[in-house]
Structure 1
Amino acid sequence: MNRVSIGAQSFDAQELQFLDRIHSVQAIGATVLSARRANIESVNIDLIFGLPGQTPRQWEANLEHALGLGVDHVSAYALTVEEGTRLGHRVSAGEVEMPSEDILADLYGIATARLEQAGFHQYEISNWAATGHQSRHNRTYWEYGEYLGLGAGAHGFFEEERYENIAHPRQYITAALAGPPGVIAEAYHPDRATAVIDFLALRLRLLEGF
């Protein structure tokens, strides 16, 4: 193993609380340090922007903190609202107001400018890497390559078949120990039209396109 991805999401304690994350800001730095001590060659930090009320200055501070840790790769994703989640219920009830598309565009622009200034090359919509540190794992997805999904709830794509494993960890373990038919909860072969659409949609995420 030569790469780890750390789901920091934010370096702001209040933002972490809003996101229901249980780790602390200090724990993020300690995790990066542990990865370096283990001689991990490439360390990625995941960040989330577009939180309700998040200011450009707060987002800039998150980026600076990540860069200050000396990571090799940054993934930055806009916060999305999923139905059935706690945030989804709060937004539907009018308790939380999500930022506008214009605000999201401004925050995204801040990330692009700052990371490029720091020497990171943007190679995908949400990913920036120092030279030699692009994620081969992620590129496999976007280039419509095969990958194995191991573990509860994991997704995989192998021999033109997409599959999803049993989501509940205990049920997954029980199924794995029982043997065939195994841990796959659902599997299907995309038809040609679906495969073409998937290929186009995934490749469009790469800045190099096709």
Structure 2
Amino acid sequence: MFLRARSLRRVVGVFLSACLLVVAAGCQFPGDAVYAVGVAKLGDEVHIFAPVCEGERISAVEVYDNKAAAERTDSQASGPARVPYWKVADPRSDAAAKGEFVIGQDDLFAQVLVAVENGAPLPDITAVEITVIKGDRRRVVGDAFRLSGVPEYPADADPRSVKYVYDESANSEKMLTPSQISNESGCAFDYVG
């Protein structure tokens, strides 16, 4: 009994410590559910790999400064106020609809709701919120990443063969290829919001 209580206290202590680290960093979890995405930088482009399952399709993407969103509140709204860095909808390619896109690459989407301001740097703590549809159902999932922790490759590297930083949770960051991410991630609709 003593060992079980001690183990339980340790688990609770680790959980609370992780929560405090997230709060101290000013991070919030975007979307209805945390859904880890892979992030890699090829040249100057930040590539996102957010796989979806058969029958699922990405319909919209919003990228914003996660730290600023966590620090600002709008007195009129119940949630955090945020200013999108890039916001797009209706993917034009199969790859973008299946979760492979470059932040700021407008031509991959039919609707550009917020274009990246010319020369505006990507925030260091960036959130990616993705709207996924399956039939007539819709789910919003997302993840946040620290740009300074993203692996960098030459501009001509193959985005399907490089390793992406992939954060499953606050303490299990991994470096995985797109196929490994697909094997680990599961379906967007499996994530509980």
Decide: shared fold, TM above 0.5: no
Q: TM-score, normalised by structure 1?
A: 0.20
Larger Rg: 1 or 2?
1
Q: TM-score, normalised by structure 2?
A: 0.21
**Higher RCO (C-alpha 8 Å, min separation 6):** 2
